[in-house]
Amino acid sequence: MRRRLIVIYVTLLAAVLVGLNVPLAIALANNVGNQMFVDRQGDTARFASLAEPALRTNQTIALADELRQYDEMFGIAAVIVTRDAHPVIASRGGIDVTDGRMREQIDAALSGQRTEPGSTLWPWQDAPLVVAEPVGRGGEIFGAALTVSPTDALTAATWRRWALLAAVSAVVLLAGVAAAAPLANWMLRPVQQLDEAAHALAAGRFGAAGEPNRNRSGAAREANRNRSGDRPLTATGPPELQRLTASFNAMAERVTTVIERQRSFVSYASHQLRTPLATLRLWVENLEPSVMPAGREDHRMVSEEIERMGSMCDALLTYARAEATADDVADVDAAEVADARVAIWSQAAEAAGVRLIRAGELRAPVRAAPQALDQALDALLSNAVKFVGRGNQVVVLVDTPSRRWVDIHVIDDGPGIPSADLEQATQPFWRSASHQNAEGAGLGVTIADALVTASGGRFDLMPAQPRGLHARVRLPAGPT
């Protein structure tokens, strides 16, 4: 964007300079030509006034000497012609009055017309300037006076003025180019900061987008500030962008506060619940020897419920941490992680009568938050082993569909999830109608989705063919 802005600015400046310089250059050429025409017209009119008595009395010697001196001094030829266009006095020999331009001016003068300024005398034209004046008195024309001026001096003067104009324009353009970069930086610096902060906010790095959360302790706040450059955006640039920056800072601070409070509440509540649950679990276990045979089933159900509540607290803690894992993204080999998770879950799959298969690429670098892919695959494999059913299989496939992305597929041929429910499957605590009483907190798929999204990837649930569930984790490809 900076380059485009500079190019647009310089282009507009160049267009303005061209728009100003072209008419100015034409005006300069006209001005030089008009000055020369006025001088020649005055000289020619003087010769015409001197020629009238000379032609009438036929005393032309003095006028011939003056024309010759004029020619020697200024290099401008002068000639006096009679009524029949015959030259009678000339400042030099060899003047051809029958030349097209001269003949045209002589005919106009003999008809009583003075030479008027013609078209612009361009510096690349080498035709002489011809000025003619009628010689006569009282409406009677005796002849015409003619001056033929070379335009070398005129051309040189025009070129000099144009060169000066071009030099000034070049200096202005260079000054504009030199000022374009600082101007673009001044205008785009707040835009760049807003862009980076918006991306950080969208990626879940709330600390990098606005004021540190006020709920953190002073030491934690300062540590986070030092780690991620956690400071409000500086309001610089044009006034409109300063107002936008201030509004963004306020929005980022509010979003950060709300999200951090939510995370803190979930984490705090889960931590606080674990202690009384552990105490309750201990009391229930201590009561086991005293339970009568008729109450043993109830005792077992209470113990299992406490275990379920403990698992739910652990899942809530994992979910709270999953939304904040994008602060640090590293290079991870997805194929290596898939191999490790398949190896870990093989024993559980075998015990559940499920065949666990690893397929696809042997090496697939990705960019992901630490442990994000591990925990996502754990959540998916846990659900797959739990719900796919004995005698079925689960395939973990690592694929590279393009140079930008790496896909990790978990595909089973179990009962799957109805298509109408797939969009709700990533919601916290959601369960399908057929698994309402299954073990777990209902956060496995939700955690996987949060982990993958926080790493800049995408999580999709699709029906498998011919039956089953297809979970796809798509992560940005890392350096090969």
Nearest 5°: CA angle at 132, between 131 and 138? 145
Same-domain pairing of 51 and 148:
yes
Write down the mean pLDDT value for the chain. Answer: 79
Same-domain pairing of 110 and 230:
no
Cα–Cα distance measured from residue 439 to residue 85, given in angstroms and rounded to the nearest whole number: 123
Same-domain pairing of 246 and 338:
no
Average pLDDT over residues 337-354: 91
Cα distances (Å, whole numbers) of residue 16 to 178, 179, 181, 355: 17, 16, 19, 75
Cα–Cα distance measured from residue 372 to residue 341, given in angstroms and rounded to the nearest whole number: 12
pLDDT at 216: 40
Domain CATH number, residue 52: 3.30.450.20
Domain of residue 266, residue span? 203-323
DSSP letter at 439 equals S
Gap between the terminal Cα atoms of the chain: 29
Confidence check: pLDDT of 442 > 70 = no
Residue 173 lies in a domain: no
pLDDT in tens, 186-243: 777 777 777 777 777 766 665 544 443 434 444 344 434 433 345 566 666 677 777 7
Q: What tokens were used for 424?
A: 């709700």
Average pLDDT over residues 107-122: 79
Label residue 58 by pLDDT band (50, 70, 90): confident
Confidence check: pLDDT of 339 > 90 = yes
Residue 188 lies in a domain: no
Average pLDDT over residues 274-293: 81
Pairing label, strands 355-360, 393-399: parallel
Q: Is 83 exposed, middle or buried (0-12, 13-18, 19+ CB in 10 A)?
A: middle
Same-domain pairing of 29 and 151:
yes
Domain CATH number, residue 386: 3.30.565.10
Within 13 Å and on the Cβ side, how many CA atoms surround 83? 7
Cα–Cα distance measured from residue 232 to residue 252, given in angstroms and rounded to the nearest whole number: 9
Same-domain pairing of 208 and 314:
yes
Confidence check: pLDDT of 270 > 70 = no
Q: What tokens were used for 318?
A: 């994992």
Residue type at position 23: P
Confidence check: pLDDT of 295 > 80 = yes
Confidence check: pLDDT of 106 > 60 = yes
Within 13 Å and on the Cβ side, how many CA atoms surround 152? 4
User: What ranges in 416-464 are assigned the alpha helix state H?
Assistant: 444-454
pLDDT at 436: 44
Same-domain pairing of 247 and 280:
yes
Q: What tokens were used for 179?
A: 């000022």
User: Which residue's entry shows tokens 């013609």?
Assistant: 118
Count structural domains, the chain. Answer: 3
Q: In 154-173, which positions are buried (b, 16+ CB within 10 angstroms) versus exposed (e)? A: bbebbeebbeebeeebeebe
Residue 212 lies in a domain: yes
Nearest 5°: CA angle at 42, between 40 and 47? 95
Q: Answer with the residue of higher pLDDT: 250 or 208.
A: 250
pLDDT in tens, 30-40: 888 888 888 88
Residue 189 lies in a domain: no
Q: Which residues are CB-neighbours of 431 under 8 A, at least 6 positions away?
A: 438, 442
Same-domain pairing of 6 and 152:
yes
Residue 190 lies in a domain: no
pLDDT at 36: 83
Within 13 Å and on the Cβ side, how many CA atoms surround 125? 10
Same-domain pairing of 96 and 14:
yes
pLDDT in tens, 300-331: 888 877 776 776 666 666 666 665 544 567 88
Q: Are 63 and 54 within 8 A, CB to CB?
A: yes
pLDDT at 101: 76
Average pLDDT over residues 125-143: 82
Cα–Cα distance measured from residue 228 to residue 256, given in angstroms and rounded to the nearest whole number: 14
Q: How many CB atoms lie within 10 A of CB 376?
A: 30
Average pLDDT over residues 394-403: 92
Beta strands in 282-435 (DSSP E): 330-333, 355-360, 365-368, 393-399, 405-412
Confidence check: pLDDT of 335 > 60 = yes
Residue 265 lies in a domain: yes
pLDDT at 226: 38
Confidence check: pLDDT of 432 > 60 = no
Same-domain pairing of 310 and 332:
no
Pairing label, strands 393-399, 365-368: unpaired
pLDDT at 232: 62
Q: Are 398 and 361 within 8 A, CB to CB?
A: yes
Q: Which residues are CB-neighbours of 377 under 8 A, at least 6 positions away?
A: 337, 338, 341, 396, 408, 410, 448, 473
Same-domain pairing of 274 and 211:
yes
pLDDT in tens, 237-248: 677 777 777 777
Whole-number percent of the chain with pLDDT over 70: 81
Q: What tokens were used for 289?
A: 């020897």
Pairing label, strands 355-360, 330-333: unpaired
Q: Lowest-pLDDT range, 149-163, 399-413, 438-452, 458-472?
A: 438-452
pLDDT at 354: 92
Average pLDDT over residues 248-271: 73
Residue 198 lies in a domain: no
User: Which of residues 323, 352, 377 is at a domain's end?
Assistant: 323
- The conformational region for residue 121 under phi > 0 = left, psi -120 to 50 = alpha, else beta, is beta
Residue 426 lies in a domain: yes
Same-domain pairing of 400 and 428:
yes
Q: Is 124 exposed, middle or buried (0-12, 13-18, 19+ CB in 10 A)?
A: exposed
pLDDT at 311: 66
Q: What tokens were used for 273?
A: 């619940």
Same-domain pairing of 150 and 95:
yes
